[in-house]
Amino acid sequence: MEGCLCYAFNDTLWTQCFSRSSTMLLLVSILILSTVTEGLKVIGGNITVVQGETAILPCKLVDTAEPLTQISWQKMTRGKPQNDNFYTILAKNGPQFVNGRDDRFAFVGNFNENNGSLKLSNTTLMDEGTYTCIFTLFPSGNHKTEIPLNLLVPPVISLKDNPLTLGDEEVSLVTCTAAGSRPPAEVVWITGTLEESVRRTTNSTLHANGTTTTVSSLFGIPTKEINSHSVQCVVTSAARSDKETLNFNIQVFFPPMGVNIIEKSEGVFECLTEANPPSNFTWQRISQPMPQSAVKVEGATLQLLSMTSNLNGLYQCEASNHYGSEHGHLYVHVNSASCTACWTILIILLILIAFGAAAACYYYKYGKFPSALSRMVEWIRRERQPVPTDSPGHVQGVASGEEELPPLQEGSL
């Protein structure tokens, strides 16, 4: 007598016909064949996610017709280094936790389709490790695969500046930190025109949890030239799709340096200085109260409203900021009593230094002290044409005839 047996193997339907006497022998040999089946495969993967995101741990059994009894999962992670069962899926009971629940895991496979995939949400670095997916078949037993789960951790990026005051020694200007990154982040500086004047150092520290903190500093001499230049710290990390750029404006603080008084327009004088942060200005008349009705003071500006002799005197402009102060002087003399044909404004600009500790220090260091003290400017203007003495109009006349006079600049004196 003869019979036929059909079986699926390697996606092909095989049919064999044989005599009844050999049926048992064949069945046995087919069973043995399936335990060592080369076609049966458990397909996993190598998964990489960014911390906090959801990971799918794929696991599929293919190329077998054997009945599936159970799917079980084991894990060996950074948080739990012993390889332990933690999840099983049974045909009847469905998925269940072993050794405690963790609701971040959910079964997203399909038992009947031999799909054992799991979803893990809110991943943390502690979830990193190896997950083993095991299919238990009858009768061939367990078939498994290992799925590495790799976590990427984006760095926490910060900038730290050091308060900078003028000096001639190299100091740390600014530090950029990419903390707790996995894999390590790359930190670079874009310094533009400061390329030649700065130096950079970068250090990395590997933490026990596998993350790395990278610290990069810019060093340079805190000069006025580098003040208010911008630099950028650019951090690149495999855990972020785009680079992160932090902008930093270098601030070198210094007291007012060199007070100049310029005549902005007729009878309007402005006090100028270089300082960081910007100076505040105060005008006063030395030894006498300000002639309130004849002058108008607005910040750095002193405006002489009428050319009368009660304006006469030595005026002082004080420029100051948190780091020190400096003075400039303006001598005003209106000679209107005896001579209507001529009058004189005598302006003496004295650069005097009123020094706070910081400013004094600076000047000693740079040796500019003596020359600044001895600097004196005398500017005598003479009216060439007769003008009325009591109308603001003659202020106009004065300045228009005097355009050839040198400006009150430090350098020109």
Instruction: Give min distance, CB of 165 to ligand NAG, in A.
Output: 33
- Taking contact as CB under 6 A, which single stretch among the options 205-213, 217-225, 241-249, 348-356 is the one that binds ligand NAG? 205-213
Binder of ligand NAG out of 43, 56, 108, 125 (CB under 6 A): 125
- Taking contact as CB under 6 A, which single stretch among the options 25-33, 119-127, 270-278, 378-386 is the one that binds ligand NAG? 119-127
Task: Tell me which H or E stretch contains 393.
Answer: helix 393-400
Instruction: Give min distance, CB of 105 to ligand NAG, in A.
Output: 9
Which tokens belong to 1?
């007598």
Residue 259 CA from chain centroid, whole number? 36
DSSP code for 117: -
Instruction: Give min distance, CB of 176 to ligand NAG, in A.
Output: 17
Instruction: Give min distance, CB of 59 to ligand NAG, in A.
Output: 15
Is 48 among the residues that bind ligand NAG (CB under 6 A)?
yes
Is 148 among the residues that bind ligand NAG (CB under 6 A)?
yes
277-314: buried (b, 16+ CB within 10 Å) or exposed (e) per residue? eebebbbebeeeeebeebbebeebebbbebbeeebbbb
The residue among 35 and 121 lying less far from ligand NAG, judged by its C-beta, is 121
CB 115 within 8 A of CB 59: yes
Binder of ligand NAG out of 150, 162, 249, 371 (CB under 6 A): 150
How many angstroms separate the CA atoms of 326 and 312, rounded?
Answer: 23
Number of residues that bind ligand NAG (CB under 6 A): 14
- Taking contact as CB under 6 A, which single stretch among the options 66-74, 148-156, 220-228, 298-306 is the one that binds ligand NAG? 148-156
Instruction: Give min distance, CB of 205 to ligand NAG, in A.
Output: 9
* Binding letters toward ligand NAG, positions 90-109, x by CB under 6 A: -------------xx-----
**Amino acid letter, residue 401:** G
In 3D space, the residue among 120, 40, 114 whose CA is nearest the CA of residue 75 turns out to be 120
- Taking contact as CB under 6 A, which single stretch among the options 9-17, 147-155, 264-272, 335-343 is the one that binds ligand NAG? 147-155
The residue among 180 and 222 lying less far from ligand NAG, judged by its C-beta, is 180
Residue 344 CA from chain centroid, whole number? 58
Binder of ligand NAG out of 77, 88, 117, 211 (CB under 6 A): 211
The residue among 124 and 136 lying less far from ligand NAG, judged by its C-beta, is 124
326-358: buried (b, 16+ CB within 10 Å) or exposed (e) per residue? bbbbbbbbbbbeeeeeebebebebbbbbbbbeb
Q: Is the omega angle on the peptide bond into residue 407 within 30 degrees of 0, that is, cis?
A: no
Is 183 among the residues that bind ligand NAG (CB under 6 A)?
no
Residues whose CB falls within 8 Å of the CB of residue 357, separated by 6 or more in sequence, listed in order: 324
Residues that bind ligand NAG (CB under 6 A): 46, 48, 103-104, 121-122, 125, 148, 150, 153, 180, 207, 209, 211
